[in-house]
């Protein structure tokens, strides 16, 4: 559900007040080389588990990494045109969705249509929808998905960092005592820019940098509709930090601290940062400055409000109660991401902790089954041939993930380096109570993010059943082919018109806006979408029959008025949504896409469509219904 303008404005005022109180300070964060890192992980980030690359089967690594390179070479990874605050923006990462046949994943007013896993060979049935190389790549990612499903809960909380075989990993004890706080001098140098950008939250700066908004920066409150929840003050202004300076990752000798019970694998190229004076500063929960501690209390009320909104559930045309993950995990989709930092004109600084350049900003993963885990496989390569960034004398800076407790600027953040081939799991309620970001390394990176998507209203089977619900009220004469409505109850007619709108705006227009781009790689969705178009046209016919019934003079006036009001409401909504989609298809950003990726302004049949039984101009019909109501 979309919040009112008054509520949104109040949220903005609260966020702005908090940012002003925070001022130019940076919130502390800890990395592996910092004392207290393991204690912080165990106490505040216990839902995060890392499986080191060397603990995964080597043959699985080979198949998965080859599959990712195949998808990139075939051009299957594309930037999405998403909707943020009523504006279209491109995602900074290129993406593709793989998953169970007929599944979709929706975020920021964008529905992705999954390329199927191809876990079974359909070639023998003559039903192949893509070439053998792509099919093999999809199957390799299905194998990874199967492994992650069985592995995600195998690691106990004590296994924070799963180690390689004995002798393969050297774990060093930190001998430097107190290490430097992430309130580093370079972070302080960037504070002026960060402060200035925060103050521009309600101005044009926010708009200019909205394209850097993380495309998963919300929990969907509507399931199918994907309206943006702006509950976190962090995500509102995080993309406005372009003036800060880069956090430097040194490539000196690795130094990794160990906790009393758990040991950690090293990350090549990761070392503690030193202050300009050469001395290390103490870090940890006790080193935070007083104003940061005081702000903890001012945030508590907002945290409660945000949780209530998150728990309000998801819905679509027919709201359904939120599902909770129980039993064995079955990831039904994976969202593949690819980003090459060297191809980006600029990356934004992480604005609150000084963690460095962000590839993906602070966010919760959205539209998932409540408390379901998320599993991420990370693969880094630094040339066009896909050679791994591991090893070598001039190692690239590590990619990292940052985590923070949502609505909490008292608990330090956590920063975790990733080697190529590492997996990390976000388990229990970590995704809903915390936020995470992705901090860019120097090399190109793939990630395969496996999820239990909330698909109660997001599968082909679902929308086909909805079509049958609506069309069950349409009778077709077997001899003449003429159509008539079986039931004229306002509630029945309203239900049919709601399904009509859902098919058009949640499926057909979504597909022709961006989903059809993948048809040149995989034709799995082509026939189902053609059938949905046929069903949609029958629903257009039903609307015309509905109109004819409303305009029929012989009807009782009270019943006609109720039907007319029902029809007017559905058509007004449809007319507004069609105009929005028409504007999106012809926007300046959409026009920059190559022809094979450009949005298609359909289905927009109407006056000149010979298959329609009557001229169908929505504006004209709305005027006719309004005039009818005025005369009653």
> DSSP characters for 516-553?
GGGGGT--TTHHHHHHHHHHHHHHHHHHHHHHHHHH-T
Tokens linked to 181: 């706080």
CA distances from residue 292 to 224, 289, 298, 406, 410 in whole angstroms, order as listed: 38, 6, 10, 15, 6
pLDDT tens-digit series, residues 216-250:
344 332 222 233 333 333 333 333 332 222 333 33
- CA 401 vs CA 22, 74, 217, 319, 447: distances in Å: 23, 28, 15, 34, 12
Where do the domains of the chain lie? 4-156+325-382+397-451, 460-631
Average pLDDT over residues 30-36: 95
> Could you read off the pLDDT of 466-499 as tens digits, one per residue?
999 999 999 999 999 899 999 999 999 999 999 9
> 368 forms bridges with which residues in the sheet?
453
The whole-number pLDDT of residue 577 equals 93
pLDDT attached to residue 128: 77
For residue 320, CA distances in Å to 158, 307, 311, 313 come to: 37, 19, 13, 8
- The architecture CATH gives domain 4-156+325-382+397-451: Sandwich (2.60)
Round to whole Å and give the CA distance between 94 and 205.
24
Q: Is pLDDT above 60 for 215? A: no
pLDDT of res. 193: 36
Q: Which of 416, 368, 405 shows the shortest CA–CA distance to 220? A: 368
Lowest mean pLDDT among 64-68, 167-171, 238-242, 304-308: 238-242
Top pLDDT among 268 and 400 is at 400
End-to-end CA distance of the chain: 33
Q: Is residue 413 classed as helix, strand or coil in its secondary structure?
A: strand
Q: What is the mean pLDDT of residues 177-194?
A: 40
Mean pLDDT, rounded, for 85-97:
92
Rounded-to-integer distance, Cα 264 and Cα 268, Å? 13
CA distances from 256 to 30, 166, 232, 401 (A): 12, 17, 32, 16
Higher pLDDT, residue 171 or 536: 536
Q: Is 336 helix (H, G, I), strand (E, B) or coil?
A: strand
Overall average pLDDT of the 3-20 stretch: 67
Please state the pTM of the whole predicted model. Answer: 0.76
Q: What is the mean pLDDT of residues 306-327?
A: 48
4-156+325-382+397-451 and 460-631 agree in CATH topology: no
The residue with greater pLDDT, 7 or 150, is 150
- Measured between alpha carbons, how far is 128 from 131 in angstroms, rounded to an integer? 8
Average pLDDT over residues 72-89: 93
CATH superfamily of 460-631: FTO C-terminal domain (1.20.58.1470)
Which residues lie below 8 Å from residue 519, measured CB to CB, with a gap of 6+? Answer: 525, 526
DSSP H helices in 261-378: 290-310
Tell me how many degrees the CA angle 380-243-183 measures, rounded to the nearest 5. Answer: 75
Of residues 263 and 321, which shows the higher confidence score? Answer: 321
What is the structure's pLDDT at 221?
Answer: 29
Give the pLDDT confidence of 363-416 residue by residue, as tens digits.
999 889 999 999 999 999 865 555 655 543 334 489 999 999 987 778 999 999
Does the pLDDT at position 267 exceed 50? no
| 374 DSSP β-pair partners | 426
Q: pLDDT tens for residues 539-559?
A: 999 999 999 888 887 766 777
Higher pLDDT, 249 or 623: 623
DSSP letter (8 states) at residue 128:
-
Res 406: pLDDT: 87
Could you report the per-residue pLDDT of 115-156, keeping only the tens digit for each? Answer: 999 887 654 454 678 899 999 999 999 999 999 999 998 866
- Give the pLDDT confidence score for residue 36 in this predicted structure: 96
Question: In terms of Cα–Cα distance, which of 24, 442, 30 is closest to 248?
Answer: 442
Beta bridge pairs of residue 448: 336, 377
pLDDT in tens, 383-396: 555 565 554 333 44
DSSP run (H or E) holding 85: none
């Amino acid at each position: 559900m979309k919040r009112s303008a008054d509520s949104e404005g109040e949220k903005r005022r609260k966020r702005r007040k908090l940012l002003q109180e925070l001022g130019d300070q940076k919130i502390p964060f800890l990395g592996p080389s910092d004392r207290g890192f393991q204690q912080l992980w165990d106490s505040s980030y216990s839902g995060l588990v890392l499986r080191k690359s060397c603990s995964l089967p080597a043959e699985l690594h080979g198949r998965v990494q080859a599959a990712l390179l195949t998808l990139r070479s075939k051009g299957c990874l594309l930037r999405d045109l998403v909707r943020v605050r009523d504006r279209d923006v491109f995602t900074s990462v290129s993406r593709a969705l793989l998953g169970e046949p007929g599944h979709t994943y929706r975020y920021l007013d964008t529905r992705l249509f999954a390329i199927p896993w191809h876990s079974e060979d359909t070639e023998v049935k003559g039903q192949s929808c893509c070439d053998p190389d792509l099919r093999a790549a999809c199957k390799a990612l299905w194998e990874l998905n199967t492994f992650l499903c069985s592995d995600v809960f195998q690691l106990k909380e004590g296994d924070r960092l799963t180690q390689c075989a004995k002798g393969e990993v050297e774990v060093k004890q930190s001998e430097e005592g107190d290490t430097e706080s992430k309130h580093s001098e370079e972070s302080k140098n960037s504070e002026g820019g960060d402060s200035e950008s925060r103050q521009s939250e309600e101005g044009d700066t926010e708009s200019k940098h909205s394209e850097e908004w993380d495309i998963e920066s919300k929990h969907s409150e509507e399931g199918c509709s994907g309206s943006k929840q702006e509950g976190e003050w962090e995500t509102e202004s995080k993309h406005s930090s372009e003036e800060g300076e880069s956090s430097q990752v040194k490539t000196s000798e690795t130094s990794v601290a160990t906790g009393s019970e758990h040991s950690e694998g090293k990350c090549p190229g990761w070392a503690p940062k030193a202050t300009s004076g050469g001395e290390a500063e103490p870090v940890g929960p006790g080193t935070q400055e007083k104003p940061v501690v005081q702000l903890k209390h001012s945030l508590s009320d907002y945290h409660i409000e945000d949780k209530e909104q998150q728990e309000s559930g998801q819905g679509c045309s027919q709201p359904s109660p939120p599902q909770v993950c129980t039993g064995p995990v079955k990831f039904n989709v994976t969202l593949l991401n690819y980003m090459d930092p060297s191809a980006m004109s600029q990356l934004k600084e992480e604005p609150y902790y000084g963690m460095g350049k962000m590839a993906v900003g602070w966010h919760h993963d959205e539209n998932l089954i409540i408390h379901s885990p998320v599993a991420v496989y990370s693969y880094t390569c630094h040339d066009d041939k896909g050679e791994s960034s591991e090893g070598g004398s001039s190692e690239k800076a590590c990619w990292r993930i940052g985590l923070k407790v949502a609505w909490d600027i008292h608990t330090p953040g956590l920063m975790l380096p990733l080697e190529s081939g590492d997996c990390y799991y976000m388990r229990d309620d970590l995704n809903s109570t915390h936020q995470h970001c992705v901090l860019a390394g120097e090399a190109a990176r793939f990630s395969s993010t496996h999820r239990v998507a909330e698909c109660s209203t997001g599968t082909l089977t679902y929308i086909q059943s909805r079509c049958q619900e609506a069309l069950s009220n349409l009778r077709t004469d077997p001899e003449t082919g003429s159509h008539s409505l079986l039931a004229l109850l306002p509630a029945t007619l309203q239900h049919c018109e709601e399904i009509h709108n859902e098919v058009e705006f949640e499926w057909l227009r979504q597909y022709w806006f961006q989903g059809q781009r993948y048809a040149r790689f995989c034709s799995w969705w082509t026939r189902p979408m053609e059938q949905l178009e046929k069903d949609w046209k029958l629903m257009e016919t039903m609307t015309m029959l509905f109109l004819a019934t409303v305009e029929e003079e012989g009807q009782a006036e009270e019943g006609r008025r109720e039907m007319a009001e029902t029809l007017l409401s559905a058509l007004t909504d449809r007319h507004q949504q069609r105009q929005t989609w028409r504007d999106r298809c012809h926007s300046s950003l959409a026009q920059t896409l190559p022809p094979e990726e450009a949005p298609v302004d359909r289905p927009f049949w109407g006056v000149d469509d010979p298959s329609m039984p009557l001229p169908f101009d929505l504006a004209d019909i709305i005027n006719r219904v309004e005039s009818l109501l005025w005369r009653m």
